[in-house]
Amino acid sequence: MSCIQNELRLENLYEEELEKALEEKRTNFQEWLDKCPLEIKEYYDYTDTFEIKFSLDLAELVAEERALKRYNDEEDGYHIMMAEVTATE
């Protein structure tokens, strides 16, 4: 195999790997966007860039944050209680 053929082969492999990496990033972004709790007002996909406008419902976000904090506080209390039980045994 000549040097030119080797270079072309390596260049093709590089391009294939680059395409795979970009596709994986696009897939990961799309999965994240599908799970995003915000309302999407506008979405434009320009292949290599995106334009997205979100809507924030602050009252809903505050309620979710408070619920999450209560849950985390309860979990922390549970873990502290379990640590105390373990330490006294």
- Walk along the chain (89 residues) and give the pLDDT tens digit of each residue: 677 777 778 788 888 888 899 899 989 988 998 988 888 889 998 877 889 998 877 777 778 888 877 777 766 665 554 455 555 55
Between CA 67 and CA 69 the distance in angstroms is 5
CA torsion sign for 11, 15, 18, 24 is negative
Q: Are residues 19 and 62 in the same domain?
A: no
Question: By residue range, what is the domain housing residue 18?
Answer: 1-54
Cβ-based neighbour number of residue 26 at 10 Å: 14
Between CA 79 and CA 27 the distance in angstroms is 37
Between CA 25 and CA 19 the distance in angstroms is 10
Q: Are residues 88 and 61 in the same domain?
A: yes
Looking at the 3D structure of the chain, how many domains does it have?
Answer: 2
Q: Are residues 49 and 61 in the same domain?
A: no
CB-facing half-sphere around the CA of 35: CA atoms within 13 A:
5
Q: Are residues 64 and 49 in the same domain?
A: no
Q: Are residues 4 and 35 in the same domain?
A: yes
Q: Are residues 1 and 25 in the same domain?
A: yes
Model pTM above 0.95:
no
